[in-house]
Amino acid sequence: RLTPEDAFRFCPDPTCDVVYFNAAQTYRTGDLKVPVFQKDQAPGVPVCSCFGHTRADLSAAAASGTGQALEASVRAHVQAGRCGCEVNNPQGGCCLGNVVTVLRGLGRQEQA
């Protein structure tokens, strides 16, 4: 129901049920067809929508020691212009930051 000519803002706050909003409309997590990384902590939720990497994938990569390789792969695809984050990622921007944040968080958990 989102129309391209309407400008919406994205709410990244995980404690807030609102995902998209503008002065006239609000869309909440229950209104969406796909889960949003910032709003849903489930293992199967995509962290990287363009390349299909989920929280579970990143967790497995961190546990196996291949997290840096996964990050490098996503980074190389982004630099080569092979992503469509503006369309595929619910936050409307590049998912590389999300991948890096999750992998670094998992790395800290592994060290603890």
52 inside domain: yes
Residue 112 has pLDDT above 50, yes or no: no
Its pTM stands at 0.83
How many residues appear in the chain?
112
26 inside domain: no
Q: List the beta strands (DSSP E) in 22-75.
A: 26-28, 46-48, 53-54
27 inside domain: no
59 inside domain: yes
pLDDT digits (tens, 9 = 90+) for 67-94: 999 999 999 999 999 988 888 888 888 9
According to the model, what pLDDT value does residue 110 have?
A: 56
The alpha carbon dihedral of 19, 9, 103, 32 has a sign of: positive
pLDDT interval class at 1 (50, 70, 90): low
79 inside domain: yes
Partners of residue 53 on adjacent β-strands:
48
As a whole number of angstroms, the distance between CA 95 and CA 42 comes to 17
